[in-house]
Amino acid sequence: MQKEDQHNLYKELKDIITKSVISIKNKAKSWSYGYNEKYDLIVISKSGQIENIILINGLKIALPKAPLKIHKRDSAKKEQYWERIEFPKELNKIKSIFQWHDAPSSFKNIWVDYIEKEFDRREEGFWFYNNGLKTYITGSHYMYLQWTKIDIGYPNFREANRLFYLYWEACKADNRSFGICYLKIRRSGFSYMGSEECANIATISKDSRIGILSKTGADAKKMFTDKVVPISNNYPFFFKPVQDGMDKPKTELAFRVPASKITKKNMYSEEIDLVEGLDTTIDWKNTGDNSYDGEKLNY
């Protein structure tokens, strides 16, 4: 990192890769998610295409190529900003994936495109116009803004949070990274962002474990019970995996198929509906030198 860049948290980089190279690789969709050693940058695009390259805290990050159609709240520039898209009232009556399966095909055909679009935004991120500027947020940031209830309702869009999520996505994509040492101010919303990431990662990961530590065990427990569990419970039905145990657990949130008793009547039945679970858990531990020592954590 050059000396004059040391105090620039964020800026756009120009001409570090020629437009012709970007165009050729975009056409072939050959930009791989992760660290690109040849150009010394981290690609956080999952479409195989990139556009802008930015610098955050000395880390070069290639953003996805913007789609032709970008969400626009209003045609007037001053009225363009983030606004949460309300959940369709017609889907409020569906509380679980089992109810969805039992719903009439005519009903499901109306909403399947909406649900698939939400999964795409969760995976690839979301573009919208913000005061006339094409603005990209990662899938995790979208889940935070669109689907995470916090103490004030739903979060406001903050540019500082957008930069954090871009940097965090780069850390997840970069196989050289062990994570972030992040110095934050109070009341920045980070506890809710961290809780959202716990719930978001856990509900899309198989055979994984997400652990929580804080200043004290009481703090870790409070984050689990007051933030992580409610965030997960408030997800729409299509983002909720099969869950074992109570809906408001105190120690472990388990996304696995509940155990059932095997009897003479059901052990040979071929009509049992086999439900697949993620076998993923979120839990917390008392803060100590050996907490989670020797245990494999995803996050």
Q: Do 52 and 192 meet the contact criterion of CB atoms below 8 Å apart?
A: no
| Average pLDDT over the chain, rounded to an integer | 91
Which tens digits make up the pLDDT trace of 121-140? 999 999 999 999 999 999 99
Please check the confidence at residue 262 and state whether its pLDDT lies above 80: no
Please check the confidence at residue 266 and state whether its pLDDT lies above 60: no
Q: What is the rounded distance in angstroms from the CA atom of residue 97 to the CA atom of residue 260?
A: 19
DSSP state of 150: B
Q: What is the rounded distance in angstroms from the CA atom of residue 49 to the CA atom of residue 27?
A: 8
Q: What is the rounded distance in angstroms from the CA atom of residue 6 to the CA atom of residue 288?
A: 35
Q: What is the rounded distance in angstroms from the CA atom of residue 149 to the CA atom of residue 189?
A: 12
Please check the confidence at residue 247 and state whether its pLDDT lies above 90: no
Burial of 62 (0-12, 13-18, 19+ CB in 10 A): buried
- Please name which of 269, 59, 263, 291 lies closest in space to residue 174, comparing C-alpha atoms: 59
Segment 186-210 mean pLDDT: 94
Sequence ranges of the domains in the chain: 3-64, 207-299
Q: What is the rounded distance in angstroms from the CA atom of residue 240 to the CA atom of residue 253?
A: 12
Q: State percent of the chain over pLDDT 70.
A: 92
pLDDT, position 272:
46
pLDDT, position 294:
85
pLDDT, position 200:
96
pLDDT, position 49:
98
State the CB neighbour count (10 A cutoff) for residue 253: 28
pLDDT, position 273:
53
Q: Cα 83 from chain centroid?
A: 18
pTM for the model: 0.91
pLDDT, position 263:
55
Cβ-based neighbours of 247, under 8 Å, separated by 6 or more:
233
* Better pLDDT: 118 or 299: 118
- pLDDT level of residue 186 (50, 70, 90 thresholds): confident
Q: What is the rounded distance in angstroms from the CA atom of residue 130 to the CA atom of residue 71?
A: 10
Which tens digits make up the pLDDT trace of 199-222? 999 999 999 999 999 989 999 999
